[in-house]
Structure 1
Amino acid sequence: MKIAQIIALVLAGALGIMSIISGSMVLLGLREVGYRVLIGLVIYNVVLGALSVITAFLIWKNFLLSRKLIPLILIFHALVLAYLYFFSDTVAMESLKAMTFRVGVWLLIFILTLPGKNKYLEIKREQ
């Protein structure tokens, strides 16, 4: 396993697990936050957190499907960030910062897993 692949899967897995735990605690009422919570955004974060963990596993196993999920997750996060920034009056600054962080991390994961662009990582399924 290449170092870029390890970094990508650790980032995807850690961010996914953090999103699942944090979002689930808010949804279950186990954690109170000091700002307005958009329940739809929290649900989105939990669902994408689960998809992030699955993607980390696929990176680890060298499945080609990870190459399709990585840009998809990045695009989803970027679109949600754009929506929150430009179209939502009720979003908390913390939510904007968290989504900006997610976009940055997934952009890094995308770059780390670019085939042919990164000599340290080539994701391909072994036969």
Structure 2
Amino acid sequence: MKTTLIIATILASLIGILSVISGSMVLLGLRSVDYRVLDWLVVYNVSLGIISIMVAYQIGKQHRKSKLMIISILLLHLLVLGYLYFFNESVAVESIKAMAFRVGIWGAIILLTLIKIPKTTHNNIKI
């Protein structure tokens, strides 16, 4: 597997696992925060975290629909970020930063899956 796909798989796995763990801890009351928590946003983050783990598996297996799933997750995160930033006055700055971070990670993941690096031999001749 190409190095770029390995990196994309690792990034998608990590962001998914971290979202599930962090969100689940808040939902179960195991972690309290000193800012206002939007319950629907935490549920969204956990749900997309689970989906992210499944998409990471698809990226690793080079499934033909993995790019479509990556773009879908990126667009969903962009829509939620836009809503939080422009339309929700009660959202914590931390929530906006976390969603912007997710958008950045998924933007990097789609770029990594689209990169075409030609193979070279020892003489720097393209194969």
Q: Same fold, TM exceeding 0.5?
A: yes
2 CA distance for matches of 1:35 and 1:109? 30
Give the deviation of 1:118 after TM superposition.
2.4
The Cα offsets for residues 80-125 of structure 1, whole Å up to 9 and x where unpaired, read as 00000000001000000000000000000011112xx4226xxxxx
Residues matched between the structures, number: 118
Amino acid of the structure 2 residue aligned with 1:65: K
Matches within 5 A, 1:21-36: 21-36=21-36
CA RMSD of aligned residues (A): 0.9
- 1:80 corresponds to: 80
- 2:38 corresponds to: 38
- 1:56 corresponds to: 56
Q: Which runs of 4+ in 1 moved over 3 A?
A: none
TM-score, normalised relative to structure 2 = 0.90
2 CA distance for matches of 1:70 and 1:39? 24
Q: Secondary structure at the residue paired with 1:113?
A: helix
2 CA distance for matches of 1:18 and 1:101? 12
- Which of 116, 124, 127 is the matching residue for 1:118? 116
- 2:97 corresponds to: 97
Amino acid of the structure 1 residue aligned with 2:116: N
Amino acid of the structure 1 residue aligned with 2:36: R
1 CA distance for matches of 2:64 and 2:49? 20
Amino acid of the structure 1 residue aligned with 2:113: T
TM-score, normalised relative to structure 1 = 0.90
Amino acid of the structure 2 residue aligned with 1:85: Y
1 CA distance for matches of 2:5 and 2:62? 9
1 CA distance for matches of 2:106 and 2:46? 16
Amino acid of the structure 2 residue aligned with 1:43: V
- 1:125 corresponds to: none
The Cα offsets for residues 59-99 of structure 1, whole Å up to 9 and x where unpaired, read as 11111121110000000000000000000001000000000
The Cα offsets for residues 31-85 of structure 1, whole Å up to 9 and x where unpaired, read as 1011000000000000000010000001111111211100000000000000000
1 CA distance for matches of 2:80 and 2:64? 25
2 CA distance for matches of 1:11 and 1:107? 11
